[in-house]
Homo-oligomer: A and B are copies of this chain.
Amino acid sequence: MRKRLLVIGSAYPKEEFDFLGRYAETHWLDEMDGEGLESLLPTIDCVLVNFWPSELGPERLAKMSRLSFVQSGLAGVNQIPLRNLGEGVVVCSNAGAYSDEVGEYAWGLLLAAAKKIVKYDRAVRTKGFARPPTPLLGREVMTLKGRTLGVMGYGGIGRSVADIGRAFGMRIMVYSRREVNEEGVAAFRGERGLGQMLPQCDVLVLALPLTKSTTGMLGKDELELMKRDSVIVNIARAEIVDRRALYNHLVRNGQFIFATDVWWSKDGQESYAPELPFLELDNFIGTPHASGPSAVVGGRPLRFALENIERFLKGEQPRNVVRREEYV
């Protein structure tokens, strides 16, 4: 008997799902009324989802007695209400599907910060730019060759960031929960490792999943371990950084730069109007979570997700199975 897949989200090209037809019947949440959904719930085996919808609250979830597999379309699964899902439900992230594009984007933010591109473009546009003497102007620009790049989280995205860092002639340091043994990579683990790595980094890229243990991982103490003129790039999830501690740190350290593509959530959604006035700071760079969407355009995230659903449907071992205890 064919299984049943519920797809949450409307932007997918339907023909991409055709190859799953032998294993499953696909249903689209967006095309259902409440009654249709109610009758379907007990028959659904698996779900494809980016952002968990309000229509599937705990009550309805309880009715999904056959549900055994949830595939995230996003690399991060922090939006999925794992505590409301039965322990028997396998949840998979879409790690790896975004590596190239998000890695490239991280470098865009990194260089915009290190080379002062955003700041200088803004200065020139005021049409009153007075050029300081050459050595003063040049001193603001960070040369990367020979400096140290720290990467927190060494999955697909972190690896892509580190590989490019090598081409810039940077020393590579990696903070990972896994053991990393790679030539030319200095690896750090645990709280003590973090404390050893942070003071050495000129640039730090956050590429960690948002879990119980990474939430607020960079707070006041960690920021103060860093060099006063270093750069943090966040292409992971905003909540990895304690926003109040960061804001205070940026105000007190004008040469410290924070460049982010991800934003702290308000009412369950990322908000580009943060509660603290980051947008008034010259040493803050923000872009509207464009890195992931740039990968979606290429089609790989959907393809990766569907291939993993196929593994589940065929009874094979799916990839990127999430460890529940890291979230609940």
Is A319 interfacial (CB-CB < 8 Å)?
no
**A111, B101: Cα distance in complex, Å:** 12
Q: Least Cβ distance of A96 to chain B in Å?
A: 14
CB pair B290–A135 under 8 Å, yes or no, is no
Contact of A134 among B116, B286, B293 (CB under 8 A): B293
Please judge, given known A-B contacts A121-B285, A143-B298, A167-B167, whether A290 and B137 are in contact too, CB under 8 Å. Answer: yes
Say whether chain A's binding surface is mostly helix, strand, loop, or mixed.
Answer: helix
Is A258 interfacial (CB-CB < 8 Å)?
no
Stretch of A63-71, A122-130, A200-208, A215-223 on the interface side: A122-130
Is A279 interfacial (CB-CB < 8 Å)?
yes
**A245, B326: Cα distance in complex, Å:** 57
Q: Least Cβ distance of A43 to chain B in Å?
A: 29
**A104, B289: Cα distance in complex, Å:** 25
Is A272 interfacial (CB-CB < 8 Å)?
yes
CB pair A124–B296 under 8 Å, yes or no, is no
Contacts of A297 in B (CB 8 A): 135, 138-139, 141, 143
Q: Least Cβ distance of A63 to chain B in Å?
A: 29
**A295, B287: Cα distance in complex, Å:** 29
Closest 6 CB pairs of A and B: A138-B293, A167-B167, A108-B115, A141-B294, A108-B111, A120-B287
CB pair B111–A143 under 8 Å, yes or no, is no
Is A163 interfacial (CB-CB < 8 Å)?
yes
CB pair A288–B137 under 8 Å, yes or no, is yes
Q: Contact string, A273-291, partner B, CB cutoff 8 A, digits 1/0?
A: 1000001000001111111
Is A11 interfacial (CB-CB < 8 Å)?
yes
